[in-house]
Amino acid sequence: MNIPSAMDRADNRQRWIGWALFADLIKGLSLTLKYMFSRSVTMQYPDKEKWVPYERFKGHHLLRSDENGETLCVGCELCAKICPCYCITVVAYEDEKGNRRPKVFDVDTARCLFCGLCEDACPVECIAMGSFFEYSTYSMQELVADRDQLMQMPGKIDDGGYIADAKMHTADGVRVTATKKQDESWWDNIHRNN
């Protein structure tokens, strides 16, 4: 039985490394060719398409209410205290039933870094970060949301993470509503060929 010499073994190793690198080269070139003949993946937002974010997405803050439309907030100020950017202002008062409620509840989204600490700190799960992200404006003042605005904010989406056909509304700023779901996965859409 012939035992390969050290030189033969080194030659073999080099040959295999060469083949492995060549295979990688072919793989890379085939991917390039695939994208060359694919449709552009630029999302037609906001005119035709819209990305509907995942449930875990941290969008605009909101305040949850009970079944009577009363805010769940007890004005404890924990969210304001834990906020690293000092962007929450809470001024509490006691209502006629003796419940603590927020008289002032402002969130300055221009300062917010969307860390979600306020959401985690709230003992009554009142403040939350929803799926709404279309609130760009030219005015810093308009980026401060007050209590009533926060109570009207849309909640979290249960089954996000897809692209939908979209319709743009400009009557009251720019609002884009998602209509028909196009695809389950953004990553599948990247490879769309038609």
For the chain, the straight-line distance linking the first and the last C-alpha, in angstroms and rounded, comes to 59
Among 45, 49, 54, 74, binds ligand SF4 (CB under 6 A): 74
Cβ proximity to ligand SF4, 107 vs 178, nearer residue: 107
State which residue, 52 or 118, has the beta carbon closest to ligand SF4.
118
Specify whether the CB–CB gap between 154 and 160 falls below 8 A. no
Q: How far is the CB of 161 from ligand SF4 (least distance, A)?
A: 21
Task: State how far the Cα of 177 lies from the Cα of 21, in Å rounded to an integer.
Answer: 48
Binding to ligand SF4, residues 119-148 (CB under 6 A)? 121-122, 124, 126-127
C-alpha R_g of the chain? 27
Distance of closest approach, residue 102 Cβ to ligand SF4, in angstroms: 6
Site for ligand SF4 contains 87 (CB under 6 A) = yes
Q: Determine, following the binding rule CB under 6 A, whether residue 163 of this chain makes contact with ligand SF4.
A: no
Q: How far is the CB of 155 from ligand SF4 (least distance, A)?
A: 15
Mapped onto helix, strand or coil, the DSSP state of residue 33 is helix
Of residues 183, 134, 128, 179, the one with CA closest to residue 156: 128
Closest CA to 155 of 45, 72, 57: 57
Which residues are near ligand SF4 by CB under 6 A? 73-79, 82-85, 87-88, 90, 107, 112-118, 121-122, 124, 126-127
